[in-house]
Amino acid sequence: MSENKNIDFMDEIVNKEGMSRRDALKLMGISPIAAAAIAGTGSSTFTEAKASDAQGKIVIVGAGAGGIMAMARLRSALSNPDITIIAPNEKHLYQPGQVFMAAGEYVAEDIIKDNKDFIPDDVKWIKDEVKTFDPDNNKVILRSGEEVSYDYLVVATGLQYHYDWIDGLTEDMIGKDGISSVYLNNPEKGTVEGGSITWDWFNELREAAKTGKPKVIYTQPATPIKCGGAPQKILYLSDDYLKEAGLTAEMTFATSGGKLFGAVPAVDKMLTEHVQPRYGNITNKFGHNLVAIDAANKVATFEHKYTVKGEYDEDIEEYVMIDKVDRVEMPYDFIHIVPPMAGVDSIANSPLAWAQGSAKGWLEVDKETLQHRRYANVFGIGDICGVPKGKTGGSARHHAPIMVANLLAQMEGKKPKEAFDGYTVCPLKTQYGKIILAEFNYKGAAPSFPLAVEEPRWIWWAFDLYMLKPMYWHLMMKGLM
Ligand SMILES: Cc1cc2nc3c(=O)[nH]c(=O)nc-3n(C[C@H](O)[C@H](O)[C@H](O)COP(=O)(O)OP(=O)(O)OC[C@H]3O[C@@H](n4cnc5c(N)ncnc54)[C@H](O)[C@@H]3O)c2cc1C
C-alpha cells in the first residue's frame, strides 16, 4: 500500500468509524509494517539473528498454516537447522478466504498458492502423507511404506471433516439440490470448492426468494470446528445479500450449542439484541445437531438435546433435572451444512492422541506449552492440538512463537516455559461491510485494540478483506509475524 493510499484509507476510517485521527493512526500502525514486508517479498529478506545452536533432526508433519509457520520460524531461529517437512500438498490454501469467496468477494485464485514458494531448498520436503505415528521409536511411516526417523516431531496435520457422520450425506451431494457447505476443500488436491459452491447457492437462494419465501437452514455440529464463527458468517451474509435486493427468506440457525457466541458474552448480546433483529427473519434452534439428510424430499433430521424439570427433591431442596433427546425433522428448500470435525485419523489412531475425555482423538499437548504430555520430543501447532480453545489460523499464529521457543528449550535441555493463552480470533461478518473482531483467550475477551470487542465495524471488514490475506502470505508464512 502506498503512503497516499494509507492516507485515503485513514480518511475512510475517520469518516466511517467516527474515530479520532489519533486512534485511526494507531490502527493504521499495522499497515506500514505489512507494506514494508510485502514490498520485500521472498523468504531471503528475513535475516533475523540466529538464536540457537541446538542440534537435532526436526520432522514437521503437515504444510498448512501451522506447519509452514513452524518451519519458517525454526529455520531462522537455528544456526544449523535440520528440518524435514512431510506434506503431500503441492498447493497451499488460505482457508479463511473461502468465506469471502462465498460472499462473491474473492475467487479461488486469490486464495491458492504453491507450497514450493514457502518451502526453501534447504528444507527437505517429502511429498507424502504420514500413515502411522510411532513415537515410542521416534519415527513415522509414510503412505509409500518409507520410515522416517526424527529427534523432534512437530505435528501440524490440521483436522478432518466428517460429512459421513450425517446419515444420507456424501461430499459429492454438496452443490446440488439446495445443499451447500463453505468448508468444503481438499488441501491435497488444492481445491476450495466450498467457497464457489456457496456463492452459487447465495444466488440460487436470491432467485428463489423472488417468487416465494424459501425455508433455509444453517447448521453447526456438536464437535469442535475450525473458525467457530463461520456458520453464522454464512447466515448473516446470505441474509444481507437477500436484503440488499429487497428480498427475504425463512431462516433457521440450528446449532448444537446453547448460545450464539458463548466465548464472549458481550458478543453474544450484540448478536442476540442487535444483529439478528436487524434481519427479523431468523429463528434460533439451540441444542439441535444435524444427524441425517433426506436430499430427495429435502428434510433434515436433528437430534434435539434439552433438559426438563423433574420431581422436587426434599433432601437437596431443588428440582431434579432430566436430560432428554428427541429427533426433530425440519423441511428445507436450502441448507448450509457445517460438517462434524475431528482429529485426522493418523493422529486419532496413534499413541499421540488423547485416549479419553472431550479431546479424545486430538493431539495430547499441554494447553500452554503445546508440548506433548507424554512424549517430550513431540510438539503441536494448529487445529490438531487438543486444547480448550483455538482452532483458527490466528491461534496457529500465536502458537508458532511459543511452540518454537519451547521446542528450542527442549533441544537445549531446558524446561519449556512459554505459555499459549488460548488466543482465538473470529472476524464475524454480520453483514456486507461490517465485522465484529471477536478476539478471546482462555480467560475471556482479549481485544488487541482499545475498541469495544462486540461492535460490528467497517474497519475490520476492510482489514480482513484487503490486508489479512497479504499479511498471511507475506508475513505469517515467512515467520515474520
Ligand atoms: C471456511 C473457513 C473459514 C475460516 N475462517 C477463519 C478466519 O476467519 N480466521 C482464522 O484465523 N481462521 C479461519 N479458518 C481456520 C484456519 O484456516 C485454520 O485454523 C488453519 O488453517 C489451521 O492451520 P493448520 O496448519 O492446523 O491446518 P491446515 O491449514 O488445514 O493444514 C494441515 C495440513 O496438514 C496436511 N496433513 C493432514 N494429515 C497429514 C498427514 N498424515 N501427513 C502429512 N500431511 C498431513 C493437510 O493436507 C494440510 O495441508 C477458517 C477455515 C475455514 C475452512
CATH of the domain at 248: 3.50.50.100
Assess whether 33 and 170 both reside in one domain. no
Which atom from ligand 1 is nearest to the alpha carbon of 394?
A: 11
Question: Residue 149: inside a domain, yes or no?
Answer: no
Ligand 1 mean position, distance from CA 363 (Å): 15
Q: Which of 313, 340, 367 is the last residue of a domain?
A: 340
Q: Which domain holds residue 203?
A: 163-340
Instruction: Write down the pLDDT at residue 68.
Output: 98
Question: What pLDDT band is residue 481 in, cutting at 50, 70 and 90?
Answer: confident
Q: Of the residues 73, 86, 95, which should be mutated to test ligand 1's pocket, given the most ligand atoms within 8 Å of the CB?
A: 95
Ligand 1 mean position, distance from CA 60 (Å): 15
Ligand 1 mean position, distance from CA 191 (Å): 13
Catalytic residue among 68, 179, 209, 227: 227
Assess whether 34 and 171 both reside in one domain. no
Nearest partner of 300 among 339, 257, 331, 255, judged by Cα: 331
Whether pLDDT at 125 is above 80: yes
For residues 235 and 253, what is the distance between their CA atoms, to the nearest angstrom? 8
> What's the average model confidence in pLDDT over 332-355?
98
Tell me the three state secondary structure of residue 122. coil
Q: Which of 294, 309, 340 is the last residue of a domain?
A: 340
Catalytic residue among 426, 436, 437, 468: 426
Mean pLDDT for the chain overall: 91
Ligand 1 mean position, distance from CA 445 (Å): 24
For residues 131 and 150, what is the distance between their CA atoms, to the nearest angstrom? 16
- Ligand 1 pocket: which residues have CB below 6 Å? 61-67, 86-89, 95-96, 98-99, 129-130, 156-158, 182-183, 187-188, 226-227, 230, 344, 346, 382-384, 391-394, 396, 425, 427
Whether pLDDT at 44 is above 80: no
Which residue did the predictor score with more confidence, 25 or 178?
178
Ligand 1 mean position, distance from CA 328 (Å): 32
| pLDDT tens, position by position, 370-417 | 999 999 999 999 999 999 998 999 999 999 999 999 999 999 999 999
Beta-sheet strand order (sheet of 378-380) = 124-126, 83-86, 58-61, 152-155, 378-380
Question: Residue 372: inside a domain, yes or no?
Answer: no
Q: Taking the CB of residue 47, how many other CB atoms lie within 10 A of it?
A: 7
| Helix 21-28 vs helix 30-39: crossing angle, to nearest 10 | 30
Does the annotation count 385 as an active-site position?
no
Whether pLDDT at 261 is above 90: yes
Instruction: Write down the pLDDT at residue 49.
Output: 47
Element (H, E) at 128: none
> Which positions ≥6 away from 395 have C-beta within 8 Å?
382, 389, 423, 424, 425
Instruction: Write down the pLDDT at residue 9.
Output: 54
Whether pLDDT at 352 is above 80: yes
Question: What pLDDT band is residue 45 in, cutting at 50, 70 and 90?
Answer: very low
Whether pLDDT at 139 is above 90: yes
Q: Of the residues 111, 383, 476, which should be mutated to test ligand 1's pocket, given the most ligand atoms within 8 Å of the CB?
A: 383
Whether pLDDT at 448 is above 80: yes
| Whether the Cβ atoms of residue 103 and residue 237 lie closer than 8 Å to each other | yes
| Helix 3-17 vs helix 21-28: crossing angle, to nearest 10 | 130
Whether pLDDT at 2 is above 80: no
Phi and psi for 427 in degrees, rounded to 5?
-80, 90
When divided into structural domains, the chain yields a total of 2
Q: What angle do CA 22, 23, 29 make, to 5 degrees?
A: 90
> How is residue 236 written as a grid cell?
448473516
Percent of the chain's residues with pLDDT above 90: 87
Question: Residue 17: inside a domain, yes or no?
Answer: yes
Whether pLDDT at 4 is above 50: no
Ligand 1 mean position, distance from CA 91 (Å): 12
Nearest C-alpha to atom 50 of ligand 1 is from which residue?
96
For residues 316 and 49, what is the distance between their CA atoms, to the nearest angstrom? 64
For residues 341 and 157, what is the distance between their CA atoms, to the nearest angstrom? 13
Which residue did the predictor score with more confidence, 1 or 279?
279
Q: Which of 290, 305, 340 is the last residue of a domain?
A: 340
> Which positions ≥6 away from 404 have C-beta within 8 Å?
70, 73, 74, 77
> What's the average model confidence in pLDDT over 203-230?
97
